Amino acid sequence: MIVAAQFSPGTFVDAIHFMGNHAGLLLSKTGEHLELSGVALAIALVLALPLGLWLGHRHRGFLFAASVANVGRALPSLVLIAFGLTVLGIGFWNNTAALVVLAVPPILTNAYFAIDNIDRDVVEAARGMGFTERQILTRVELPLGLPLVVAGIRIAAIFVIATATIAAVAGGGGLGEIIVNQASYGLAGVVAASLCVSALAFLAALLLALVLRAASPRQGPAT
């Protein structure tokens, strides 16, 4: 009979030991985790970012953008993975699809509202001076809306990295495989893998925060 180990402060010490002893395993699982998250995020970006930016530029599709946000929030990823099992089978693409569905809403809605909310007078001045529609988007709207756009990507990245953990239930690999398999890796392994997930999510958030800071438009101190 397996008795679930009780958590104690000592577990963290055990987890650190686990990391030292199984560095190779954790590294390869972290690699899988990153690959799954990265591919899902990249697909979501390709799907959602241009669409959100363009809809925002045209000030069209408010209902669409808002609905995507709500549907995205209402769909549990685990349900999607279970459903995907019947369509895509076990493995990488089933999990990727579920994570894409998770990542699209924050990217799309943030991109939409970032651009939609840019001061209309600024945009009209640009149009009246002879910017093409593409130049308006890339030189005026995108720089001004960038903080909100990047914030959406950051939310999506954190969601995806955290949720990629459950991919293990459908053979998707990643750090989740350790977390759902306490029988093999013990509580120390579960905690070690969890810490790795947290660290990944934190690093992704940090990285995007730095990107945001580097890319934010300077507007000078307000008077």
The contact set with another protein (CB under 8 A) reads 119, 121-132, 135, 140, 143-144, 217-223
Q: Which is nearer to another protein, 145 or 152 (CB)?
A: 145
Q: Which is nearer to another protein, 70 or 132 (CB)?
A: 132
Around 187, how many Cα atoms within 13 Å sit in the side-chain half-sphere? 13
**C-alpha distances out from residue 185 to 18, 23, 44, 168, 170, Å:** 9, 13, 33, 14, 19
Q: Which is nearer to another protein, 184 or 219 (CB)?
A: 219
Q: Which is nearer to another protein, 144 or 192 (CB)?
A: 144
For residue 157, the minimal CB distance to another protein (Å) is 25
For residue 121, the minimal CB distance to another protein (Å) is 4
For residue 85, the minimal CB distance to another protein (Å) is 47
Q: Which is nearer to another protein, 60 or 73 (CB)?
A: 60
CB of 166 closer than 8 Å to CB of 176: yes
For residue 212, the minimal CB distance to another protein (Å) is 14
Q: Which is nearer to another protein, 74 or 214 (CB)?
A: 214
For residue 150, the minimal CB distance to another protein (Å) is 15
For residue 118, the minimal CB distance to another protein (Å) is 10
